């Protein structure tokens, strides 16, 4: 008789491994990806493909070079690529998208030890670095008129947040919801992002704490500051940030209260930048700043073991 396998319990485990979870995130990002093509035309798909391809390739090559175990099959690099693309204007030159992707995977993720070890969200950090390095290209917003809704005509347009801060008229709420306004290619269609976010919640990839705390804080502060609440919620990168980037596992707290503090913090910093800062948009910065605070928040909100009372 052959030898029996002898391992420590449990002898049973969930089928939901890292790859499954990442696949769910990719699925959840699909509505927004489709919306980006409908709104901005095929070039949106090109940017997404370039970012995803570069991210996966950089991860593969870097791990090969460092003789680390290969992790591209966990699909996390695909997620990073999609998220980074979503944060770029559709007009971004391909070479800049490539550099951004390399930075995201190698500098922000792999140099800190790879999946689960990085302290800052790779897509967001890369975007911010690109914003500094390629500030012209990164803020050249086109109105979504190159897409399937209208005739092709590259009109440079202001994002709704810029419009609001300058007191210009906003697109209608419906257009905001559908994404027919200027912005990064994956952030404009709030409807698609909300659908994706709900999917993540239903599949329990994320919990409600961060998105609700984040969006709720922005709503509340907008109300208090006499701003257009719905306009604030539906513009900029809020939905993308709150559902997909502020919920990244490695760079955000894991406990309930930690998540709530994180979300509220993101919301506060976002409105601070939006209402009083020099930049029209603050979602990325808020998430990066809160990423940096995450170790402290985690320490403060550590899970308390149930040790019970004294033995009597």
Residue 67 in contact with another protein, rule: CB under 8 A: no
Under rule CB under 8 A, residue 14 binds another protein:
yes
Q: Which CB atom, from 93 or from 116, has the smaller least distance to another protein?
A: 116
Place of tokens 């092709």: 152
Stretch that binds another protein, among 4-12, 30-38, 125-133, 167-175 (CB under 8 A): 4-12
The reply to whether 76 sits near another protein by the rule CB under 8 A is: yes
CA distance 178 to 195: 12
Q: How far apart are the first and last CA of the chain?
A: 52
Is residue 124 within 8 A of residue 131, CB to CB? The reply is no
The b/e string for 265-298 (b: 16+ C-beta within 10 A; e otherwise) is bbbbbbbebbbeeeebbbbbbbbbbbbeebeebb
Q: How many residues bind another protein (CB under 8 A)?
A: 42
Distances (CA, A) of 17 to 73, 74, 105, 237, 249: 11, 9, 21, 29, 14
Interaction between residue 10 and another protein (CB under 8 A): yes
**Minimum CB distance to another protein smaller for 70 or for 135:** 70
Q: Does 11 bind another protein (CB under 8 A)?
A: yes
**Shortest Å, Cβ 5 to another protein:** 4
Give me the helices (H) in the chain, please.
18-40, 42-65, 76-86, 94-102, 122-133, 135-138, 160-165, 173-178, 190-202, 209-224, 229-234, 238-240, 256-271, 283-300
CA distance 19 to 34: 22
When asked if residue 203 is in the footprint of another protein (CB under 8 A), the reply is no
| Subset of residues 91 to 130 that bind another protein, contact rule: CB under 8 A | 114-117
Q: How far is the CB of 298 from another protein (least distance, A)?
A: 9
Cα 88 → chain centroid:
12
The least distance separating another protein from the CB of residue 60, rounded to whole angstroms, comes to 16
Closest CB to another protein among 169 and 305? 305
Is the Cβ of residue 25 or residue 273 nearer to another protein in the bound state? Answer: 25
Positions 251 through 290 that interact with another protein (CB under 8 A): 253-255
Axis crossing angle, helix 94-102 with helix 122-133, rounded to the nearest 10:
130
**Comparison of 132 and 310: residue with beta carbon closer to another protein:** 310
Of 154 and 292, the one with the shorter C-beta distance to another protein is 292
Q: Least separation, in Å, of the C-beta of 123 and another protein?
A: 16
Taking CB under 8 A as the rule, does residue 140 contact another protein?
no
Distance in Å, CB of 247 to another protein, minimum: 11
Cα separation, 84 vs 154, whole angstroms: 23
Q: How many residues does the chain have?
A: 312
**Contact flag: residue 152 with another protein (CB under 8 A):** no
Q: How far is the CB of 267 from another protein (least distance, A)?
A: 21
Question: Is 12 a residue that touches another protein (CB under 8 A)?
Answer: yes
Binding-site ranges for another protein (CB under 8 A): 1-2, 4-14, 16-18, 20-21, 69, 71, 74, 76, 114-117, 249-250, 253-255, 302-312
């Amino acid at each position: 008789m052959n030898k029996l396998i002898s391992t420590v319990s449990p002898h049973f485990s969930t089928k939901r491994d890292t790859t499954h979870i990442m696949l769910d995130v990719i699925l959840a990002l699909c509505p927004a990806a489709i919306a980006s093509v409908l709104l901005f035309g095929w070039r949106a798909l090109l940017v997404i493909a370039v970012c995803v391809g570069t991210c996966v390739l950089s991860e593969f090559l870097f791990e090969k070079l460092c003789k680390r175990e290969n992790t591209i099959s966990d699909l996390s690099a695909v997620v990073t690529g999609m998220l980074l693309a979503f944060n770029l204007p559709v007009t971004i030159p391909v070479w800049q998208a490539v550099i951004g992707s390399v930075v995201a995977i190698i500098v922000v993720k792999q140099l800190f030890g790879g999946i689960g070890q990085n302290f800052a969200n790779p897509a967001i950090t890369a975007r911010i670095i690109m914003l500094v390095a390629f500030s012209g290209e990164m803020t050249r917003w086109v109105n979504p008129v190159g897409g399937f809704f209208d005739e092709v005509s590259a009109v440079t347009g202001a994002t709704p947040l810029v419009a609001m801060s300058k007191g210009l008229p906003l697109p209608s709420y419906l257009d905001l919801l559908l994404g027919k306004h200027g912005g990064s290619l994956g952030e404009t269609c709030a409807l698609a992002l909300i659908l994706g976010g709900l999917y993540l919640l239903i599949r329990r990839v994320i919990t409600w704490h961060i998105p609700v705390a984040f969006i709720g804080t922005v709503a509340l502060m907008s109300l208090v500051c006499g701003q257009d609440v719905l306009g604030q919620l539906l513009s900029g990168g809020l939905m993308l940030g709150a559902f997909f980037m502020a919920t990244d596992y490695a760079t955000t707290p894991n406990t309930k209260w930690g998540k709530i503090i994180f979300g509220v913090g993101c919301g506060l910093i976002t409105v601070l930048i939006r209402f009083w800062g020099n930049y029209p948009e603050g979602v990325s910065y808020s998430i990066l700043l809160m990423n940096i605070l995450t170790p402290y928040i985690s320490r403060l909100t550590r899970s308390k073991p149930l040790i019970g009372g004294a033995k009597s």
